[in-house]
């Protein structure tokens, strides 16, 4: 069962307002929670009056008895946990594995490893909030209950989650910093590839140079949008593809991996309302 504890932070807050307006819970989720009497008081008794005003500091427990995820648990995938509370989990995805499986019986992905971890700790629910390309390593956020999933999905859509990356790119990048505002669309000649296309979706990448090496440059990038392969496409378009990213004309590396890591995410936590920074150690 997924659940979380919460103390109301102001007078006259209602359960209905919390779920529908403050946390933007979907109609289906809220309806199912109401039918299942999923909101409990500090004594573990169901709260029946969802429109009744509550005093600040009222303790509530929100439960999701039917919230389960179907990923097959897999202990064979390395999992590094960077952050965890009742609402989210932040983990490191290694380069070379997918964020999630393509089919219900697939294993060997990050979400299979997350499911094994969650089940060991008594949970049944875990859903990724965003994804990283198979060859990209770094921080991935996981929702631990449906309301968290709904809220963080909305935050991703509204660009309320800042995501930073470190990339090593080919060549000598002359500009110390800049912003790339170029739309990205599908490459109709290559189904796995994206390209800068005026008919594509808007995409904005900010970057700054960190270090210049003999044949490559280290840059930090952050995204204002989250298009597929965005950093890889934008940097390649500048003439400085990610080192090792042969799909986008990057030079080959000895291990066959490309040099792109999602190093940090930051956001205002929707449940604690605290500024939260999660970064690679």
Cα distance between residue 14 and residue 29, in whole Å: 17
Phi, psi of 59, rounded to the nearest 5 degrees: -90, 130
Instruction: Check 21, 102, 106, 133 and give the catalytic one.
Output: 133
Active site residue 187: no
- Write the Ramachandran bin of 57: left for phi over 0, alpha for psi from -120 to 50, otherwise beta: left
Q: Are 95 and 136 in contact (CB under 8 A)?
A: yes
Cα distance between residue 81 and residue 188, in whole Å: 38
Question: Count of CB atoms within 10 A of residue 70's CB?
Answer: 10
Helix-strand-coil split of the chain, %, nearest 5: 20, 30, 50
| CA distance readout (Å), 51 to 12, 13, 17, 63, 185 | 10, 9, 8, 18, 46
The residues with which 86 forms a beta bridge, in sequence order, are: none
Q: Classify residue 91 by burial, with Cβ atoms within 10 Å: 0-12, 13-18, 19+.
A: buried
Own/partner pairs, 18-27, CB within 8 angstroms, 24+ separation: 19/50, 19/147, 23/147, 23/150, 23/151, 23/270, 23/271, 24/150, 24/151, 24/154, 25/146, 25/147, 25/150, 26/146, 26/150
- As annotated, the active-site residues are 133
């Amino acid at each position: 069962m997924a659940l979380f504890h919460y103390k109301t932070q102001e007078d006259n807050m209602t359960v209905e307002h919390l779920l529908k307006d403050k946390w933007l819970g979907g109609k289906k989720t809220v309806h199912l929670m109401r039918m299942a009497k999923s909101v409990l008081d500090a004594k573990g008794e169901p709260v029946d009056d969802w429109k009744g005003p509550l005093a600040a500091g009222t303790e509530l427990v929100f439960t999701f008895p039917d919230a389960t995820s179907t990923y097959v648990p897999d202990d064979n995938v390395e999992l590094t946990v960077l952050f965890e509370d009742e609402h989210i989990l932040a983990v490191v995805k290694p380069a070379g594995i997918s964020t999630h499986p393509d089919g219900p019986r697939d294993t060997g992905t990050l979400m299979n490893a997350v499911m094994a971890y969650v089940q060991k700790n008594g949970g049944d629910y875990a859903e990724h909030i965003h994804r990283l390309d198979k060859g990209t390593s770094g921080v991935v956020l996981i929702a631990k209950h449906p309301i968290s999933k709904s809220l963080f999905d909305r935050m991703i859509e509204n660009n309320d989650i800042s995501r930073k990356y470190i990339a090593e790119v080919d060549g000598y990048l002359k500009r110390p910093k800049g912003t790339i505002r170029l739309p990205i669309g599908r490459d109709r000649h290559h189904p796995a590839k994206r390209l800068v296309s005026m008919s594509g979706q808007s995409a904005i990448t900010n970057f700054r140079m960190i270090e210049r090496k003999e044949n490559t440059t280290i840059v930090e990038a952050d995204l204002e949008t989250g298009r597929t392969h965005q950093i890889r496409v934008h940097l390649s378009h500048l003439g400085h593809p990610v080192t090792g990213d042969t799909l986008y004309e990057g030079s080959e590396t000895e291990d066959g991996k490309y040099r792109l890591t999602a190093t940090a995410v930051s956001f205002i936590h929707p449940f604690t309302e605290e500024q939260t920074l999660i970064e690679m150690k």
